[in-house]
Amino acid sequence: MTINTTTNKRVDPNDADADADAVKQPATKKRVTENNNIINVDVDDVDVDVDESPAVATTATTTTNIVPVIPLLDPTDSSYDLAANANTAPDMNNKFLWVIYLSIEEPTNSKFTACLDKCRSIATQISDEFNGCLQLDGTRHVTLWCGKLTKNEAREIRFVEDDDDDDDGLLPVDVTIDGWVGKGAYLKLDDTTQEKLRMIMGKIQNLPGKKKKTRNSCDHMSLYRARRMDYTTYQIASTQIREGVPANNNEWGSIPGVTIRLKVLGSNYNHCKVLVGN
């Protein structure tokens, strides 16, 4: 696989998932999409950062649900090239930004999917550029933590294995939507969901500064990100989404969070270490 990187990538200042708005350009654009579903991906196509599709055509749809992309590479492996896949340079201690995130499963007959379809309809009327800002199927997630780690530190991150608490019993977890965040097109999670996710994060071992809450973690899910779109234009479009698809009265319902993963900020979603789930 050919790995290309791009500098000066734009990051949405209001989104804690800093990897999300920095977009890598493909080496050869042979990718065809329809309604954000991957139809074909060239093996040399390096898609975008953590909040986009995988670099290989591992589709994330089943007959009934949209599921997280299939893991392909472990970024903590000694052979994995962090510098070629991250969207930020390492610091003086050779630490990169990493993200821990909860990937969701989307039942096709759910309230969530119905509302997302309404968002797609509105976005299509706004512009092709904004429509392309939607997180692709199989990559929508909740960021739980973001911070600097060396590869060795990342390799040691794991969940506490309690005798009376099987790690797999932590998931699935209901992710309940409770409105929109004030700016952008980000869904706010209800208090119960946030408490559950922070409880789960408390079971992580070997995470530097784990007692310090990462800004905007465990509390939202990004749908549309500015990427390289003019930020003012993006905010105007996001307002149309928020006003066109209500989210304050359980319109979106709940969806299951099914797997917790670790990846370097900016890499493809199928370049991840699975911490819990599949």
The answer on pLDDT for 2 being more than 50 is: no
The answer on pLDDT for 6 being more than 50 is: no
pTM > 0.85: no
Task: Give the model's pLDDT for residue 14.
Answer: 43
Number of domain units in the chain: 1
CA distances from residue 153 to 89, 98, 218, 235, 262 in whole angstroms, order as listed:
17, 11, 22, 37, 12
85 contacts 7 by C-beta, under 8 angstroms: no
Task: Give the model's pLDDT for residue 24.
Answer: 35
For the chain, the three-class secondary structure string (H helix, E strand, C coil) is CCCCCCCCCCCCCCCCCCCCCCCCCCCCCCCEEECCEEEECCCCCCCCCCCCCCCCCCCCECCCEECCCCCCECCCCCCCCHHHHCCCCCCCCCCEEEEEEEEECEECCCHHHHHHHHHHHHHHHHCHHHHCCECCCCCCEEEEEEEEECHHHHHHCEECCECCECHHHHCCEEEEEEEECCCCEEEEECHHHHHHHHHHHCCEECCCCCCCCCCCCCCEEEEECCCCCCHHHHHHHHHHHHHHCCCCCCCCCEEEEEEEEEEECCCCCCECEEEECC
Q: What is the pLDDT of residues 93-126, one digit of tens each?
A: 999 999 999 999 999 999 999 999 999 999 999 9
* Enclosing domain of residue 58: 32-276
271 falls within a domain: yes
The answer on pLDDT for 227 being more than 50 is: yes
pLDDT band at 160 (very low <50, low <70, confident <90, very high): confident
pLDDT band at 248 (very low <50, low <70, confident <90, very high): very high
Task: Give the model's pLDDT for residue 278.
Answer: 86
Q: What is the pLDDT of residues 195-220, one digit of tens each?
A: 999 999 999 999 887 555 566 699 99
6 falls within a domain: no
The answer on pLDDT for 277 being more than 50 is: yes
19 falls within a domain: no
260 contacts 92 by C-beta, under 8 angstroms: no
Task: Give the model's pLDDT for residue 63.
Answer: 58
Q: How far apart are CA 129 and CA 109, in angstroms?
A: 27
CB count, 10 Å around CB of 3?
15
Q: What is the pLDDT of residues 20-75, one digit of tens each?
A: 333 333 332 223 333 333 322 222 222 223 343 333 334 455 557 999 999 999 99
242 falls within a domain: yes
Task: Give the model's pLDDT for residue 207.
Answer: 87
Q: What is the dihedral of CA 263, 49, 115, 171, to 10 degrees?
A: -10
Task: Give the model's pLDDT for residue 104.
Answer: 98
Q: What is the pLDDT of residues 124-148, one digit of tens each?
A: 999 999 999 999 999 999 999 999 9
Task: Give the model's pLDDT for residue 275.
Answer: 96
- What is the token pair recorded at 79? 């052979």
Mean pLDDT over each residue of the chain, to the nearest integer: 80
108 falls within a domain: yes
Q: Report the sign of the C-alpha dihedral through residues 145, 147, 151, 157, in that order.
A: negative
239 falls within a domain: yes
CB count, 10 Å around CB of 74?
17
Task: Give the model's pLDDT for residue 130.
Answer: 98
Please report, as a single letter, which amino acid is at residue 74: D
12 falls within a domain: no
The whole-number average pLDDT for the span 6-24 is 39
Task: Give the model's pLDDT for residue 44.
Answer: 25
56 contacts 136 by C-beta, under 8 angstroms: no
Task: Give the model's pLDDT for residue 163.
Answer: 56
166 falls within a domain: yes
